[in-house]
């Protein structure tokens, strides 16, 4: 067969000039690595955020005073809004027949102590008992607090795995007493380990009943966050519209004014994130592609030098029956061998660098098929685009002039 023999000739020619081939390979590796690193890192961060948001569930949405800010003007406008209060929860619960559950949540930071050990600025959340039915918390030990705990203001807490590791390594945490701020709480449950995201330990939290939270920390200055679950995905949009109308009436928003609260779903957050990362990805990939173009120019120059050096060889091959397409394929194979080899190395190096960068933010990532396909596509494209002119030049050489070339 013609193709395997041409590929063997091309490989032999590449290996015959190791230094030249190595320098050409280096240019491709740098270009593909830079593109691969950017795509893989952005994809890895997006995957990690998607895993976090998946805990909300497909039929859950969030209502809060301020959820999304995209400009200074928007911030100064939204900061004037009234906080969301428990009366809004009552209004939704009573009037929204498409809503299955509503759980208000208040957040604060406080020091957490156990005997002579302490952690500073731990997230402390106050919620109702149905919070765990809306947010996908996996319970590793014990239980979440009950409606009775909330009703009777029992000083109990549900903690993250980081709290367990810090204070109760090797011992059963259930029944132990933690000091959260200035108050004491009994540990009744521990969540499964969730890991970190953007350098934030997601396991360093304490959840207490909302009633006792309000007693200790007072009404949240920025208002409550409402976690709301519709009866099904099919009625999610209608449940959101129903909730919006109830809240507008409850908060006395004029008909000609916009909502004075934000309402988001996991999908809307992801959509905004993807829009932002898409712009960022195009910008960064565009900048890094300059190194790819430079690598391609290096490939073309090296192949032009190779054609010039091997002019007599080309003339001899033509004189013994080699056709133009054979020479064209041979030099294209040489270009593709260099660029694909550099592309594969660049893909591996880019993924490792991206993994290190994402790891610095304490996030996890998996190999991105988009990045792998992009890396292979770029390296193949470089080989074809920048290798075609030298290959065509070799194929068009006049055999007689080539044989007489010195």
Provide DSSP, 113-182: EETTEEEEEEEEEEE-TTHHHHTTPPEEEE-PPPHHHHHTT--EEEE-HHHHHHH-TTS--TT-EEEETT
One domain, residues 137 and 41: no
One domain, residues 101 and 16: no
Instruction: Find the range with the poorest average confidence among 4-18, 105-119, 281-295, 359-373.
Output: 359-373
What pLDDT was estimated at residue 199? 54
CB-CB neighbours of 369 under 10 Å:
9
Question: Six-digit token pair at 83?
Answer: 């906080």
Residue 183 has pLDDT above 50, yes or no: yes
| Domain-embedded: residue 57 | no
Of 239, 260, 281, which closes a domain? 260
Q: Are 203 and 157 in contact (CB under 8 A)?
A: no
pLDDT band at residue 167, thresholds of 50, 70 and 90? very high
| Domain-embedded: residue 373 | yes
What average pLDDT does this structure show over 137-144? 88
One domain, residues 277 and 159: no
Alpha-carbon gap, residue 144 to 271, rounded angstroms:
32
| Domain-embedded: residue 71 | no
What pLDDT was estimated at residue 57? 74
Into how many domains does the chain fold? 2
One domain, residues 220 and 333: no
Rounded to 10°, the helix 18-53/369-395 angle is 150
One domain, residues 245 and 288: no
| Domain-embedded: residue 92 | yes
Could you tell me what percent of the chain has a pLDDT over 70?
86
What pLDDT was estimated at residue 39? 76
One domain, residues 137 and 95: yes
| Domain-embedded: residue 383 | yes
Instruction: Find the range with the poorest average confidence among 29-38, 55-64, 278-287, 341-350.
Output: 278-287
| Domain-embedded: residue 70 | no
What average pLDDT does this structure show over 174-202? 85
One domain, residues 47 and 96: no
pLDDT band at residue 1, thresholds of 50, 70 and 90? very low
Nearest to 405 by CA among 313, 335, 302, 332: 313
What average pLDDT does this structure show over 117-130? 92
What average pLDDT does this structure show over 132-151? 89
Per the DSSP assignment, residues forming a β-bridge with 102 are 228
One domain, residues 236 and 308: no
One domain, residues 220 and 275: no
Mark residue 121 as left, alpha or beta (left: phi above 0; alpha: psi -120 to 50; beta: remaining): left
How far CA 275 is from CA of 53, 268, 289, 331, in Å, comes to 16, 11, 21, 42
Question: Six-digit token pair at 16?
Answer: 């015959």
| Domain-embedded: residue 59 | no
pLDDT band at residue 197, thresholds of 50, 70 and 90? low
Greater confidence, 134 or 392?
134
| Domain-embedded: residue 154 | yes
Of 217, 235, 260, which closes a domain? 260
The domain of 159 spans: 82-260
pLDDT mean across residues, the chain:
82
Nearest to 307 by CA among 330, 338, 341, 326: 330
Alpha-carbon gap, residue 176 to 154, rounded angstroms:
15
One domain, residues 158 and 300: no
What average pLDDT does this structure show over 369-393? 78
What pLDDT was estimated at residue 2? 47
One domain, residues 195 and 250: yes
What pLDDT was estimated at residue 242? 94
The model carries a pTM of 0.65
What average pLDDT does this structure show over 85-91? 91
One domain, residues 165 and 294: no
Of 209, 239, 260, which closes a domain? 260
């Amino acid at each position: 067969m013609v193709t395997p023999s041409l590929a063997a000739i091309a490989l032999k020619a590449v290996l015959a000039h190791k230094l030249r081939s190595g320098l050409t390979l280096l240019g491709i590796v740098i270009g593909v690595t830079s593109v691969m690193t950017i795509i893989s890192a952005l994809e890895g961060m997006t995957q990690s955020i998607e895993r976090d948001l998946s805990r909300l569930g497909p039929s859950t949405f969030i209502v809060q005073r301020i959820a999304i800010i995209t400009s200074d003007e928007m911030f100064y406008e939204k900061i004037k809004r009234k906080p969301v209060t428990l009366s809004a929860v009552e209004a939704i619960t009573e009037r929204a027949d498409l809503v299955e559950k509503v759980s208000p949540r208040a957040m604060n930071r406080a020091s957490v102590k156990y005997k002579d050990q302490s952690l500073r600025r731990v997230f402390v959340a106050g919620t109702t008992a149905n919070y765990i039915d809306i947010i996908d918390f996996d319970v590793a030990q014990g239980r979440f607090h009950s409606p009775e705990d909330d009703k009777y203001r029992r000083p109990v807490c549900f903690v993250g795995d980081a709290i367990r590791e810090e204070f109760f390594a090797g011992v059963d945490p259930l029944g132990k007493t933690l000091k959260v701020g200035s108050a004491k709480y009994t540990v009744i449950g521990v969540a499964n380990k969730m890991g970190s995201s953007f350098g934030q330990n997601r396991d360093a939290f304490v959840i207490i009943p909302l009633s006792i939270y309000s007693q200790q920390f007072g009404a949240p200055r920025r208002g409550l966050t409402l976690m709301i679950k519709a009866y099904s995905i099919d009625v999610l949009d209608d449940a959101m519209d129903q909730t919006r109308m109830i809240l507008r009436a409850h908060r006395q928003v004029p008909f000609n004014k916009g909502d004075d609260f934000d309402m988001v779903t996991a999908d809307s957050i992801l959509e905004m994130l993807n829009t932002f990362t898409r712009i960022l990805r195009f910008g960064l990939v565009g900048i890094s592609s300059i190194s790819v173009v430079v690598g391609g120019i290096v490939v073309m120059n090296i192949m032009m030098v190779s054609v010039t050096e091997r002019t007599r060889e080309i003339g001899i091959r033509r004189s013994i029956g080699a056709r133009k397409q054979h020479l064209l394929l041979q030099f294209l194979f040489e270009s593709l061998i260099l660029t694909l080899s550099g592309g594969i190395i660049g893909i591996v190096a880019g993924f490792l660098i991206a993994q290190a960068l994402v790891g610095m933010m304490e996030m996890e990532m998996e190999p991105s098929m988009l990045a792998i396909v992009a890396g292979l596509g770029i390296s193949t494209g470089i080989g074809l685009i920048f290798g075609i002119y030298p290959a065509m030049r070799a194929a068009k050489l006049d055999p007689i002039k080539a044989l007489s070339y010195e």
